[in-house]
């Protein structure tokens, strides 16, 4: 039995248990909706554009925030790797900041930017930047000394050394950092939209809660899980596997 078939059977079993349990449950529909009710709400939301519009807003925010986090993380990671003084000072602070949940920054974001898109974008960026910085620093540090010595013997230095030796050799760890940073920023986005509004899947969740529409809440949760799974399995896992095969870390199956 293949992995895909096992997963399909498992999900189908959960769906059957959910549907049967909800039909025989004494709980009202608004508290424990059936799977068919959730799927109907999901279908209607997609057809009316309510959910698709929310998906578009959320994806736009996370792509912008994630891109900023990658650029800032790589730059900070470079300076922490390159200069001992920066490592002893900024590197220590980044390690400490990484342990702070991104949602904790939300009160500050509201004070600084107000309850708007900038606050949510700030939360998303903060959620990924420190993780990206730590992984980029680690990737640069783990470049084998042999590569660096050989490159310097042949006269490579400055930006040429960074572009042809350090960045290519650290790509596998940077890709792993991207994957983790995406997960952090995705969770931060949902928390930010849930509290900050301004459209998006998070606000749709809050709307479902305030209206007592658990079928809408669960529909949005399904969409969030599907997007997260697709991005992780289709984009980052595939990218990570291809890079590891190209770098000789993993054998082609």
Residue 28 lies in a domain: no
- Domain count of the fold of the chain: 1
**What is the per-residue pLDDT across 195-252, written as a single tens digit (0 to 9) for each?**
776 788 988 998 988 888 899 999 999 999 999 888 888 888 888 888 878 777 666 6
Q: How confident is the prediction for the chain on average, in pLDDT?
A: 88
Is-contact 127 188, C-beta < 8 A?
Answer: yes
Percentage above 70 pLDDT, the chain: 97
Tokens read off for 40: 């109907």
Residue 253 lies in a domain: no
Specify the CATH number for the domain of residue 83. 1.10.3720.10
Q: What is the DSSP letter of 105?
A: G
Residue 4 lies in a domain: no
Residue 25 lies in a domain: no
Residue 50 lies in a domain: yes
**Of 189, 224, 200, whose CA–CA distance to 119 is shortest?**
189
Domain extent, residue 101, equals 38-247
**What is the per-residue pLDDT across 145-166, written as a single tens digit (0 to 9) for each?**
888 888 888 888 888 888 888 8
Residue 3 lies in a domain: no
Helix axes 167-196, 106-113, angle to 10 degrees: 80
Q: What is the rounded average pLDDT of the residues 158-185?
A: 87
**What is the per-residue pLDDT across 14-54, written as a single tens digit (0 to 9) for each?**
999 999 998 888 888 788 889 999 999 999 999 999 999 99
Cα-to-chain-centroid distance, residue 99: 16
CA dihedral defined by 81, 82, 83, 88, rounded to 10 degrees?
Answer: 0
Q: Tell me the pTM.
A: 0.84
SS3 labels along 140-152: HHCCCHHHHHHHH
Tokens read off for 150: 């050989």
Tokens read off for 130: 């420190």
Q: What is the DSSP letter of 166?
A: I
Question: Coil, strand or helix: which one is 205?
Answer: helix
The stretches of the chain forming alpha helices (DSSP H) are 3-24, 35-48, 50-82, 84-86, 92-98, 106-113, 117-141, 145-153, 158-161, 167-196, 201-211, 214-230, 237-246
Tokens read off for 158: 């400055």
Q: What is the rounded average pLDDT of the residues 183-203?
A: 85
Residue 56 lies in a domain: yes
User: Radius of gyration of the chain from Cα atoms?
Assistant: 22
Residue 63 lies in a domain: yes
């Amino acid at each position: 039995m293949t992995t895909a078939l096992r997963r399909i059977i498992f999900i189908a079993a959960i769906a059957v248990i959910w549907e049967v349990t909800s039909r025989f449950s004494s709980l009202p529909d608004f508290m424990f909706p059936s799977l068919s009710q959730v799927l109907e709400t999901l279908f209607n939301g997609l057809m009316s554009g309510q959910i698709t519009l929310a998906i578009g807003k959320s994806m736009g925010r996370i792509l912008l925030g994630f891109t900023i986090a990658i650029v800032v993380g790589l730059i900070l990671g470079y300076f922490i790797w390159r200069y001992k003084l920066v490592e002893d000072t900024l590197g220590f602070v980044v390690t400490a900041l990484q342990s702070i949940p991104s949602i904790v920054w939300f009160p500050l974001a509201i004070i600084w930017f107000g309850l708007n898109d900038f606050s949510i974008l700030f939360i998303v960026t903060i959620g990924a930047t420190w993780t990206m910085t730590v992984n980029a620093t680690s990737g640069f540090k783990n470049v084998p000394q042999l590569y660096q010595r050989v490159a310097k013997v042949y006269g490579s230095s400055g930006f040429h050394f960074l572009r042809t030796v350090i960045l290519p050799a650290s790509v596998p760890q940077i890709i792993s950092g991207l994957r983790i940073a995406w997960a952090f920023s995705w969770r931060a986005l949902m928390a930010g939209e849930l509290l900050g509004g301004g459209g998006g899947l998070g606000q749709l969740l809050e709307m479902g809660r305030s209206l007592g529409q658990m079928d809408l809440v669960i529909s949005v949760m399904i969409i969030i899980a599907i997007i997260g799974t697709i991005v992780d399995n289709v984009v980052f896992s595939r990218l990570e596997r291809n890079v590891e095969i190209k770098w000789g870390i993993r054998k082609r199956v």
